[in-house]
Structure 1
């Protein structure tokens, strides 16, 4: 790409994976430019800053980033400790962004990526003209390559069981939120105490919210918690207990299971929300596609996962799996209908390429709609991409990553199936019974 010589590699997103990409590139003598829509590095992480991760510090720091930080006097946190999201930012992401200096621009929201002078239809010059990244304030930034590590946090899935917002969801938006509440905050605690709260979802974020709300219900009379699940039963939703190689994640499932056993959480199985309506007393009622109702609801927490925002990539040639919206070479390796419990294979630049030369998706966004992404998966992705961009194909292909057992058997596509079918399809042996674990840490789905 002769015309691109000397141009930076633009990294979209100053989260954990985006900043790791910048550190990996800088270490190889390639100039990165990180564009972050938020006001600071780790802006999305700060939105769930009260949540404790289920990965310890030792797995949350990119090796190249650690080498970049070492000369600054930065002190690496205890590798065995579990930070909250806010501690992750303060203890690592903010110092890393400071070490990268003016290579990180905040308040720079990307609204489009294209090829200079060419829309996606034009073949001529695609391998010689630079990529152009356009920001909301009208800047046009030429780049030799683009790594989109913008994540999926800003695109939560809706309440509707069919993937679309439930009918009426927008009209009652003040009662329907995609958040894990911080119940140590007096204002948020008052919002949920003594109320009927519905939690929709079956992933780690939902389990985190349920565990916190159950503790609130023990202390605040009248607090009622309903747990809406599309599946016909629990299956392996609580994970692997002490069989989980991330102990804090296993402990989270135990806490949620104990809350159900104690009668603090009322599960509602096989409920796919079709519409939501507000009634005269100010509460809302959820109505399923089969006409079942859940009434007297004060608050709804929609923790049903995330999806990638792809609209501003319309002019680059991406090749995405039609089901997961992940790169086609990566999708078979992460498909939750097939893979779980640590069976995701190591992958790097070769699985993340697109028909558009020099364009990559990395981090949580590369997983599309697949769940259970770990930070160090993203670190290995961008390490491999950085090697590919300097032409070191051998290093780019040398991907060595051992993932921890997830403790979640059965993919999202099986959750609506009969429990015996799901158990057969997901295999056996990885997810043991849920037993108490001494670590009381909560979890974030992207840790």
Structure 2
């Protein structure tokens, strides 16, 4: 547990061994135990608890600070943007100008921080080192690292109890890297923990395929960094199955094709749950996101030039070991030729286990807030149908708790950083009592922006595409985190 704790006049810190509280909090606690109604609503001096120190979590802290509210950010990793750092080799589709939150920029300005050239494209590593970490540093003790949230509830109320529920502060259970446990009281909770830690399995039914866990040492659920010599050696001269149909799969296909040019015998088997149509590889040269269009064209070239073989309509049922290799069997009875490695890029899903005691209204398909889900449901909408949204679409029956950022999209495949920044701006305004600002839309997105994603980036190709687009080309946008498969 950190040796120094932020000072909140009525905050109570509880661990499994003892109650640690300030003197005034002790008095308030005694009055609460006597049923004093004036105390039950006294939560406004408690911090707003933010889960996750990624782009959206830190932006939430900056927005709250600008509103005079006290944030406390809990990050399970050891540094800011821990998830982003895991795809540090991937270059964003967005420029620097599009991935810096306005409130964060104002918070950083007095420190002498200078935003990198707004017209250039950062990698995930650049984003973390040059923006997220400095932002966490300026927030100081408001950010705690090595702090894993294991549960969130209302004080003294499980999800069944109605009595005086809304008047009780939130209780957040935390486990630190050294094993210490703590309970923290909060006036509101913003869960911006993302979905990076919970990739979807290979099974076509949403469950792990038979044998998938046993083959875990041969399966990667992230886009490998093929510039790493050890990673290159793992895939060089090998036959690799790539499962997925989104930007992540495009990235892996294009990268393996490049490796195949240098290392004979390298080949990709691209497994799609659907067929190949005119939109499978994106918009190509006409894509309003030039870098994404270039990525789709590179993936198509991998297939056209024989570096990859496409298998369509295949839903994985079982993975079988055979003579030191892996055989993927489909639900329709097909068995593919053996492969050496598998890269599963079938999307991500939210971890809702630690917010299970809260009353959340989530869509039964996407696990996204019910008001937001119809706007982003890939079963219904094509690219570009979501509009900027805020507290109205993100509210739940449990007052003052919000899922924000990538986690708010549940299992939907794409998310924009700028959309997340608008979400937390609206949430902070609502928590500060400025309902007009909370309901006001302060962001304009191009119609095709929702399909943006991070992936392979060919600067020359992208510059050519931007030049062709002329003065009216739509600005490229970023998909938060590594690209999710199965998108538009």
Question: Which residue in 1 is equivalent to 2:417?
Answer: 375
Shift of 1:295: 2.5
Unaligned runs of 5+ in 1: 410-435
Question: Which residue in 2 is equivalent to 1:7?
Answer: 46
Question: Which residue in 1 is equivalent to 2:237?
Answer: 194
Query: 1:167-316, aligned counterparts within 5 Å?
Result: 167-280=210-323, 282-316=324-358
Shift of 1:225: 0.6
Q: Is the 8 A contact 1:246 1:404 kept in 2?
A: no
1:336 aligns with 2:388: no
SS in structure 2 of the partner of residue 139 of structure 1? strand
Structure-2 separation of matches of 1:90 and 1:336? 33
Closer, same or farther: CA 205–49 of 1 in aligned 2, 3 Å: same
Question: Which residue in 1 is equivalent to 2:173?
Answer: 134
Question: Which residue in 1 is equivalent to 2:9?
Answer: none
Closer, same or farther: CA 42–92 of 1 in aligned 2, 3 Å: same
Shift of 1:200: 0.4
Shift of 1:262: 1.2
Structure-2 separation of matches of 1:333 and 1:402? 16
Query: 1:423-434, aligned counterparts within 5 Å?
Result: none
Closer, same or farther: CA 343–27 of 1 in aligned 2, 3 Å: same
Structure-2 separation of matches of 1:12 and 1:439? 40
Unaligned runs of 5+ in 2: 1-39, 452-460, 467-475, 482-488
Structure-1 separation of matches of 2:187 and 2:73? 13
SS in structure 2 of the partner of residue 295 of structure 1? coil
Question: Which residue in 1 is equivalent to 2:3?
Answer: none
Alignment equivalent of 1:92, drawn from 98, 108, 131: 131
Q: Answer with 1 or 2: which has the greater Rg.
A: 2
Shift of 1:212: 0.7
Question: Which residue in 2 is equivalent to 1:70?
Answer: 109
Structure-1 separation of matches of 2:256 and 2:245? 15
Q: Is the 8 A contact 1:49 1:86 kept in 2?
A: yes
CA RMSD of aligned residues (A): 1.8
Number of equivalences: 420
Closer, same or farther: CA 200–234 of 1 in aligned 2, 3 Å: farther
Q: Which moved more, 1:22-31 or 1:262-271?
A: 262-271
Alignment equivalent of 1:390, drawn from 410, 429, 432: 432
Shift of 1:68: 0.4
Q: TM-score, with normalisation over the residues of structure 1?
A: 0.91
Structure-2 separation of matches of 1:63 and 1:336? 30
Closer, same or farther: CA 440–102 of 1 in aligned 2, 3 Å: farther
SS in structure 2 of the partner of residue 4 of structure 1? coil
Q: TM-score, with normalisation over the residues of structure 2?
A: 0.83
Deviation per residue, 1:256-295 (Å, 9 max, x gap): 1111111111110011000001112x10000000111112
Structure-2 separation of matches of 1:340 and 1:135? 40
SS in structure 2 of the partner of residue 231 of structure 1? coil
Question: Which residue in 1 is equivalent to 2:141?
Answer: 102
Shift of 1:311: 1.1
Q: Is the 8 A contact 1:249 1:443 kept in 2?
A: no
Question: Which residue in 1 is equivalent to 2:442?
Answer: 400
SS in structure 2 of the partner of residue 230 of structure 1? coil
Shift of 1:302: 0.4
Structure-2 separation of matches of 1:443 and 1:255? 19
Q: Is the 8 A contact 1:330 1:352 kept in 2?
A: yes
Closer, same or farther: CA 188–253 of 1 in aligned 2, 3 Å: same
Structure-2 separation of matches of 1:208 and 1:244? 17
